[in-house]
Amino acid sequence: MLLEKLSMAAGVPGHEDAVRDAIAAEMMKYADEIRVDSMGNLIALRKGRKRDVKVMLAAHMDEVGLVVRSVDPSGLLKVVACGGVDPRVLVSKSVKVGTKMIPGVIGGKPIHLQKKEERDLPIPMEGLYVDIGAKSKEDALKMVELGDQVVFDTQYERIGNGRLKGKALDDRVGCAHIIEALKRQHDFDLYGVFTVQEEVGLRGAQVAAWAVNPDLGLVLEGTTAHDVFPTEEHKSSTFLGKGPVIVQMDASMFAEPKLVARLIEVAEAKGIPYQHKTTISGGTDAGRIRHTRAGLPATAVSVPCRYIHSPVSIIDENDFKNAGKLVEAFLDSVDERGLPR
């Protein structure tokens, strides 16, 4: 399955090579042009039949993780967060380090040795390390290098009733949707942009949007779901199983209203379930696209995702499929009626 392949690829910010290679291999059959810009964004073009309009779909390739910053004399790797990682969920997690995918475990001071005041607090990032089984600093540096990425070693799999579990579903779900969208030709030029460094400041999208200069941008994302008891409904943000999320605003942007209206219209016409976010925290590449050049029409369609920015997340398979249907219906509407005006 495409999503499984993308989920299992490794790519913390600045190290997206393996993800980019996996996507490029899929795109070779469908894209008319593929290029990689100086930032590392992968830009694929499916030329349109009329070529009078440019539509940009964007999804980020990077995932939250860690980076090796030093090695101590005993061979343990000291690390820093790369993206919004919560240190409370890191202890004892299995990881892979560097391009050689060296196996390791995130460790910290055992609870038996902690003082009472330490037990009441999560171990801070500076108190964590990655153990790759090295016996010394020299031994460790034969296996890894400073600056190597550290990714979570999480197996993608189906669980329960129609749920999918894996790492980096934020935002490999969006990458999968773009690949599917580029399989079909439209009247307009369709750009599939797979961005870098979203998790550390939405950096790649700004560069790519400036270069492509689309007539509109639609970002495909994974977004926060906290629909677990006893969270109050208005604090849950989004809900698994209630459909893709049409984003009206978040901390990075106010979406183009006419674009939001068109998405709602086509969703209702096609009987595709959808929802809105009840919180506005966080941002997406749409924020950068929206504020590029003189301002570009943009918003996001997201798949609700539990336990986001952690070693493992869960999505509902129907939400994932319906998000793809919504993107397809929206692109068909541009063929039929032109851009939202």
Look up 233 and say whether it is catalytic: no
In 3-state terms the chain splits into helix, strand, coil percentages (rounded to 5) of 30, 25, 45
Q: How far is Cα 338 from Cα 340, in angstroms, rounded to an integer?
A: 7
Is the dihedral angle over the CA atoms 121, 126, 131, 134 positive or is it negative? negative
Q: How far is Cα 257 from Cα 272, in angstroms, rounded to an integer?
A: 20
**Annotated catalytic residue: which of 16, 26, 63, 198?**
198
Residue 71 one-letter amino acid: V
Q: How far is Cα 258 from Cα 262, in angstroms, rounded to an integer?
A: 6
Q: How far is Cα 175 from Cα 2, in angstroms, rounded to an integer?
A: 10
Residue 323 structure tokens: 């998000």
Q: Which helix (H) or strand (E) holds 177?
A: helix 169-181
* 8 A C-beta contact, residue 223 and residue 303: yes
Q: How far is Cα 92 from Cα 77, in angstroms, rounded to an integer?
A: 14
How far is residue 130 CA from its own chain's centroid? Answer: 24
* 8 A C-beta contact, residue 68 and residue 150: yes
Instruction: Give the SS3 label for residue 210.
Output: helix
The β-bridge partners of 306 are 225, 314
Phi-psi region of 282 (alpha: psi -120 to 50; beta: other; left: phi over 0): left
CA dist list (Å): 118 to 25, 86, 87, 113, 122: 48, 17, 14, 10, 8
Closest CA to 238 of 185, 186, 313: 313
Active site residues: 198
